[in-house]
Amino acid sequence: MTPKRSGEVVPSAPKRKKAVMCLMEKIRVLDKLRSGMSCSAVGREFNVNESTIRYIKKKEKEIRRSVREAAPESAKVTSIVREEAMEKMEKRLNLWIHEMTTDKKGVVDSIVVRLKAKEIYGHVTQGQKNVKPFSASAGWLARFKRRYGVNNVKLAGEASSADREAAEEFKKHLLSVIQDKGYVEEQVFNADETGLFYKDVGKRTYITQMACKAPGFKSFQDYATLLLCTNAKGDFKCKPLMVYRAQNPQALKGKSVNHMPVHWRWNKKAWMTSSWFHNCFVPEVECYLQGRNLAFKVLLILDNAPVHCCEELKNAHPNVEVLFMPPNTTSLIQPLDQGIIKAFKAHYTRELYSKGFQALESNKETTMMDYWKSVTICNVIDYVGTAWGSIKQATINSCWKNVWPDCVQNFEGFEGVAESIKNSVENIMHIARQISGEGFDDMKEEDVEEILAEKAVEPTNEDLDEMAKQGIGVGSDEDGDDSQPKTSRIDPLTATKISEWNSALERIFNDMIECDPMLDRSLKFKRLTSTAFAPYAEMLKDLRQKTKQTRLTQLFEPVWEGKSPTPSTSHERQTPEVELPNVDMLPSSSSAE
């Protein structure tokens, strides 16, 4: 008799979960197939059906085109092939958002983003037939933000409570890391980038008004990007990194880029590069800590801007730990954003104004417009070095109070960062009134504040096309040879030239001592100037010594072809001009600290 079936249900084999492959994974599949692997072998490796692999192979052309047009962020999360125009538009829109938020440290309104998306879509589809309509709906924006991981696009009036909560959580995490690893104030650093419109004298001044009317005027031509870095104690400031749009400006012709108050880099649109970490930050900090007899272990705090190449820097150096702040918290807790950058720009603007006033005083025929036109990137580098060196330790240390309160010290006579910046603003206004002219005579505090504020350069659609074509942008890492400094031919110094300088100084000293009734003042000037000239005096001494040695060895030259050396005439015995080694091989004598 057949036994009765049990009422229990036998569990069936678990159904395999459907695998959804992103476009980048599909590219890997296609590359495997191109290498000669069979569809079945590739399917086993990726744990998908052979039919799926065959379908991907069938769509190879569309998949590769979509990945080529899309940004890497989108290709990692998108699984379907999307229209070429949409991929192009979103890639450019993502670059635009990065450009508009990196320098301003802020967010862009969702309505503005949607309008910009429609504008870019119209640009990329210009001249095409049968273009599908695009409305830039709220649903599309939400999907776009997920695809690209965009966190700095918000609805108008959206509350920032989440940002404050994230900032508080980061502060707790930072304190635990500092305590667990035993970091001290000298070993904790913060770095941040800022844009500098280095010829900005105020939009209400007649200088700006006239410049804007000039044909071909573009504000970003007078723009550079700076990366500033300092430690929590405030006693060490790294040499600023300056990224300029041109490789070899005429003003720097014949100058050694390795001996400047800044680290010089360039690329076409003055975007930041990450080579600063390896080539500038690590060597400088290691030298500083050795001088303090401290262990070379460093905690570097950065915001999450794409320019910092987060993934690359996490394990970039065994002695440097990098922490990234949560999105949209820099205005709340980042030390450089709490007043250091603003103080730097105030000092820079004061230097720009002071040099202009000095130019007017030294030559009554010179106008402020003449001075403004004469300012070159060489002058800017000088002003940047002076301004960065003017930031006091108390200012830097006090700006860490929002993220690490325990490290803040009490400095005698220091009234606070806000008061210090206010004094600088008043100083700028005072100099402006001395310069005089429309916009200078009645310069107000809000005019100076507008100069010091963070501003972004909005790229045009043509700029976005170029950025997308080259695969670069704010988030790119241009560490190749093209962005590295290349020194043009440098004419070496000679003993004759240094002797001329020395003679000119002696004439100035004698004239000042003779004409100045206050002898102590002229002697002090002579003493200080002679001390500053000491490196050149040492070079002159070495060159003369080499000249003597050369003349002595000439007496022992061998006689060739039976000819004996003949005495030289008086004009042949003159001291030859000996060239100095290339100045790139000499130790730096300039520092921003």
- H or E segment at 322? strand 320-324
Percent residues over pLDDT 90 in the chain: 32
Specify the range with the lowest mean pLDDT, choosing from 91-105, 335-349, 546-560.
Answer: 546-560
Q: Say whether both 319 and 210 belong to one domain.
A: yes
Q: What's the CA gap between 198 and 486, in Å, rounded?
A: 23
Checking if the pLDDT of 99 tops 70, the result is yes
Average pLDDT, the chain: 79
Strand partners, 190: 230, 301
Question: Per-residue pLDDT tens for 44-62?
Answer: 888 888 888 888 888 887 7
Domain boundary among 114, 148, 182: 148
Domain containing 120: what range?
32-148
CB crowding 413-429: b at 16 or more within 10 Å, else e: ebeebeebbeebbebbb
Q: What's the CA gap between 354 and 528, in Å, rounded?
A: 22
Vertex 267: Cα angle to 479 and 327 (nearest 5)? 70
Q: Say whether both 203 and 346 belong to one domain.
A: yes
Q: Say whether both 407 and 530 belong to one domain.
A: no
Is the residue at 96 inside a domain? Answer: yes
Q: Say whether both 436 and 516 belong to one domain.
A: no
Question: Per-residue pLDDT tens for 62-82?
Answer: 777 767 666 555 545 555 566
Given a contact cutoff of 8 angstroms between Cβ atoms, the answer to whether 459 and 465 are in contact is no
Checking if the pLDDT of 352 tops 90, the result is yes
Strand partners, 579: 494
Q: Say whether both 503 and 395 belong to one domain.
A: no
Mean pLDDT of 551-573: 49
Question: Per-residue pLDDT tens for 506-517?
Answer: 899 888 888 988
Q: Looking at residue 568, what is its pLDDT?
A: 42
Question: Per-residue pLDDT tens for 393-411?
Answer: 999 999 999 999 999 998 8
- DSSP-derived secondary structure letter, 565: P
Q: What's the CA gap between 400 and 468, in Å, rounded?
A: 38
Is the residue at 9 inside a domain? Answer: no
Q: Looking at residue 105, what is its pLDDT?
A: 53
Domain boundary among 99, 119, 148: 148
Q: Say whether both 140 and 287 belong to one domain.
A: no
Q: Say whether both 203 and 302 belong to one domain.
A: yes
* Residue with the larger pLDDT of the pair 71 and 532: 532
Q: Looking at residue 573, what is its pLDDT?
A: 40
Indicate the pTM of the whole model: 0.66
Q: Is the dihedral of CA 172, 174, 180, 185 positive or negative?
A: negative
Question: Per-residue pLDDT tens for 184-243?
Answer: 999 999 999 888 999 999 989 999 888 877 665 555 568 888 999 999 999 999 999 998
255: confidence class by pLDDT, cuts 50, 70, 90: confident
Q: Say whether both 400 and 511 belong to one domain.
A: no
The SS3 assignment for 226 reads: strand
Q: Looking at residue 220, what is its pLDDT?
A: 52
- H or E segment at 323? strand 320-324
CA dihedral of 292, 386, 271, 257, whole degrees rounded to 10 = -80
Q: Say whether both 299 and 431 belong to one domain.
A: yes
Beta 223-231 vs 188-197: how paired, if at all? antiparallel
Percent residues over pLDDT 70 in the chain: 74
The SS3 assignment for 324 reads: strand
Q: Which amino acid is at 591?
A: S
Q: Say whether both 122 and 167 belong to one domain.
A: no
Say how many domains are in the chain.
3
Is the residue at 18 inside a domain? Answer: no
Mean pLDDT of 276-283: 90
Domain boundary among 452, 475, 504: 452
Q: Say whether both 144 and 182 belong to one domain.
A: no
Residue 211: which residues within 8 A CB-CB, separation 6 or more?
217, 372
Q: Say whether both 67 and 139 belong to one domain.
A: yes
Specify the range with the lowest mean pLDDT, choosing from 125-129, 138-142, 151-155, 287-291.
Answer: 151-155
* Residue with the larger pLDDT of the pair 246 and 101: 246
